[in-house]
Structure 1
Amino acid sequence: MVYLQLLVVLGLIFLGVRMGGIGLGVTGGAGLFILTFVFGLKPGHAPIDVILIIISVITASAALQSARGLDYMVGVAARLLRRNPRHIVLLAPLVGWLSTFLAGTGFIALALMPIVVEVAEKTGIRPERPLAGLTVASQNAIVACPVSAATVALATVLAPHGIALTDIIMVSIPATLLGALAGGAVMLRYGRELADDPAYQRRLAEGGIRRPQSAADEVLPRTAAWSVYGFLLTVALIVLLAAVPQLRPAWPGPKGMEPVAMVDVIQMCMLGYSALAVLVCKADLQGMVSGSMFRSGAVAAVTILGAAWMSDTFIQANLPLFKHNIVSIIEAAPWLFAFAVFTMAVILFSQGATTKVMMPLGVSLGISAPVLIAIYPAVVGVYVLPSYPSIIAAVEMDYTGTTKIGRWIFNHSFMLPGLVSTAVSIGAGFALTALR
């Protein structure tokens, strides 16, 4: 019976991924119905806290976008890349990592991709090298961002074990930053030089290169910069309140004076920033709702609701069986759990959903909090299948044709920097947790 349940869960996950968009969320809901009404499993815990945080954070990000704050950040990044063209292979992943870390979304890299291709080609550097590093690093930084859905999900899971948000990011920030550098470094000599690439030279000779028109940097209103500063200050405030619980209001509870939970703090701060962005930085409410940022957040919320709720129902119902079969293996080598997390990330196509599904399982199996924090970068396995939106966008935006998906699907431009980045991030995570 367990194997039949697993077949239903995996089958609906694959179907949802193929559907795209909120497909994974709706097929997850259908799977939850089947597990409950057909197999008689007790529904697991709906990830309400994570969904509420996603909604509040994505509202703040939509306000930042509507106030032109994202455009301001892209402009700063573009100037940095254009001033240092010779170092673009290493700079691009660092800029991608920093942009995602600050903005809370990996899709900000899409705005940087045309700039990276343009600067690389003009410098005579194979655009595939910096573009692949940028794409991977921008997703890797989700693990470092203190207000990303994945980080918040991990903090929620580990909070009952005395782990604060700051304990997670003090490891994930340096670990993923080292991973981004490693992913860029491995691409320094990757592939043929642009001048020696026959496909590029043939396309150039046939007039197949269609370079986009370079537009002058747009003059943005001053409020665009203000919106960025306000967002960064809000994130800094969240980190400060997580690090110093005494700064949070507290009320009497079963364990004495209990400060307001960080789950609630993040929601308050993000919604408060959204209000200031509208009132001070001229963010348009209608533009916030109709913008791409808000739509992507809604998709993430529905995906996590369906997929994570279905998976949690299956895992909790069969947890004794899992413990009996694999707990001895995990106790002997807890780092092996990273492979399970990475595999689930490949299937679920979402760092947030993978964290919500796998990290509670890790806790249930007795894996310590430091180990779970160390292997946290394994949730960035979304680059393995070349159908992730940012990967598709990178291939399409490289007008030189050097960035590509191979004939065998998995031999694409992003696999090597992705695997190196993930391995280095996890290794650094273990080293950092050992030092603490």
Structure 2
Amino acid sequence: MVYLQLLVVLGAIFLGVRMGGIGLGVTGGAGLFILTFVFGLKPGHAPIDVILIIISVITASAALQSAKGLDYMVDVAARFLRRNPRHIVLLAPLVGWLSTFLAGTGFIALALMPIVVEVAEKTGIRPERPLAGLTVASQNAIVACPVSAATVALAAVLAPHGVALTDIIMISIPATLLGALAGGLVMLRYGCELADDPVYRQRLAAGEIRRPEAGGAIALPRGAAWSVYGFLFTMALIVLLAAMPQLRPAWPGAKGMEPVAMVDVIQMCMLTYAALTVLLCKADLHAMVSGSMFRSGAVAAVTILGAAWMSDTFIQGNLPLFKHNIVDIISTAPWLFAFAVFTMAVILFSQGATTKVMMPLGASLGIAAPVLIAIYPAVVGVYVLPSYPSLIAAVEMDYTGTTRIGRWVFNHSFIVPGLVSTAVSIAAGFALMALR
């Protein structure tokens, strides 16, 4: 019976991935219906907390976008990259990591991609090298961001084990930053030189290279910079309140005085930031809800609702079977669980959904909290299949043709820096946990 249930889960996931958009969310809901009404499994826990976090964070990010704060960040990053063109292969991943970490979303990497291609091509550097590193590093930074859905989901799983949000990011920030740097290093000599690339030479000879026209300085409103400063202050406040629970309001509870939960703190802080940005930085409410940022957040929320709820139902319904068959293996070599997490990330196409599905399973199997924190970067396996939106965008934006998807699907431009950065991030996570 469990194999039929697994077939339903995998069928719903693959069908949803093929549909794209919110497809994974709606097919996940359909799979949940079958598991409940046909196989009689008790519905698992709906990921309400994670969805509320996504809604609040994406509202804040949409306000940042509407106030031109993202444009301000892209402008600063672009000026930095153009001043250091010779080192763009190493700098692009670091800039991509930092921009995503500060903005709280990988969306900002899409705005940096044309700049990276332009600077690399003008310098005679193969654009594939910095572009692939940038794309992978921006996904790594989601793991480090304290307000991402994935990080909040992991914090919720580990909270009963005495692990705070700050305990997670103290490991994930340096680990993923080292991973981003490693991804850039491995791309330094990747592929032939730009002048020797046959696709580039063919396009150049045929006059198919259409370089973007250089534009003048972008006139940004005064509130753009202040919206960025406000967002960074909000993130810093969240980290401070996570590190010092005594600063949070508390009320009598079963265990004495219990401070307000960090899940609620993040939602309140993000919504307050959005309100202040609308009032003080003149963010347009209509532009907020119609912008790409808000739409992508809605897709993420529906995806996690359907896919994570279905997967949790399947796992919880068959947890005794899983424990009986793999607990001995996991107890002997708990790091092997990283491969399971990585595989699920490849299938689900979402760091948040993967974290919500796999980390509770790891905790149920008795894997220690430090190990789960160390293998947390494995949720970034979204780059393996070249149908992830940011990967497709990178290929399309490289007008030189050096960034491409190979004949065998998996041999694309992002697989090498992705695997290297993930492996280094996990190894660094274990090393940092050992030093604590």
Q: TM-score band, normalised by the shorter chain?
A: over 0.9
Task: For residues 292-341 of structure 1, give each alpha carbon's deviation from its aligned partner in whole angstroms, at most 9, with x where no partner exists.
Answer: 00000000000000000000001001000000000000000000000000
Task: State the match for 2:163 in structure 1.
Answer: 163
Runs of 4+ in 1 over 2 A off after TM superposition: none
Shift of residue 55, structure 1, vs aligned partner: 0.5
- Give, in angstroms, the shift of residue 122 of structure 1: 0.5
Amino acid at match of 1:359: M
Residue in 2 that maps onto 1:73 = 73
Distance 1:121 1:354 in 2: 36
Q: Which residue of 2 aligns with 1:153?
A: 153
* Distance across 2 between alignment mates of 1:200 and 1:253: 66
2:355 equivalent in structure 1: 355
Matches of residues 170-185 of structure 1 in structure 2 within 5 Å?
170-185=170-185
1:404 aligns to what?
404
Is 1:393 the counterpart of 2:398? The answer is no
> Residue 31 of structure 1 aligns with which residue?
31
Matches of 1:49 and 1:403, distance apart in 2: 38
Cα distance in 1 for residues equivalent to 2:86 and 2:373: 36
Alignment of 1:89 with 2:76, yes or no, is no
Q: Percent identity?
A: 90
- Specify the SS of the correspondent of 1:380: helix
Tell me the distance in 1 between the aligned counterparts of 2:214 and 2:20: 33
Question: Where does 1:68-217 land on structure 2 (aligned, <5 Å)?
Answer: 68-217=68-217
- How far apart, CA to CA, are the structure 1 residues paired with 2:305 and 2:275? 26
Please tell me the residue identity of whatever aligns with 1:416. V
TM-score calculated relative to the size of structure 2: 1.00
Amino acid at match of 1:86: R
Counterpart residue type for residue 214 of structure 1: A
Letter in 2 for 1:92: A
Q: Kindly indicate whether residue 324 of structure 2 is the aligned counterpart of residue 287 of structure 1.
A: no
1:9 and 1:202 map into 2 onto residues whose CA distance is 45
The equivalent of 2:299 in structure 1 is 299
1:199: how far off? 2.0
Offset of residue 399 of structure 1: 0.4
Q: Could you tell me which residue of structure 2 aligns to residue 44 of structure 1? A: 44
Question: How many correspondences in the alignment?
Answer: 436
Distance 2:80 2:157 in 1: 38
- Equivalence for 1:366: 366
* Partner Cα distance (2:53, 2:415) in 1: 31
- 3-state SS of the aligned residue for 2:107? helix
The CA distance in 2 between the partners of 1:344 and 1:112, in whole Å, is: 28
Residue deviations 1:92-113, cap 9 Å, x none? 0000000100011112101000
Query: How far apart in 2 are the matches of 1:128 and 1:43?
Result: 45
Say whether 1:314 aligns with 2:314. Answer: yes
Distance 1:216 1:390 in 2: 26
Partner Cα distance (1:355, 1:314) in 2: 15
Gaps of 5+ in 1: none
CA distance in 2, matches of 1:306, 1:341: 18
Aligned-pair RMSD on alpha carbons? 0.5
Give the Cα separation in 1 of the matches to 2:134 and 2:80.
14
Q: Using the alignment, how far apart are the partners of 1:201 and 1:56 within structure 2?
A: 48
CA distance in 1, matches of 2:317, 2:201: 58
Query: For residues 22 and 264 of structure 1, what CA distance do their matches in structure 2 show?
Result: 26
Q: Does 1:259 align with 2:233?
A: no
State the shift of 1:217 in Å: 2.2
Matches of 1:142 and 1:206, distance apart in 2? 40
CA distance in 2: counterparts of 1:69 and 1:351, whole angstroms: 25
CA distance in 2 between partners of 1:17 and 1:197 (Å): 33
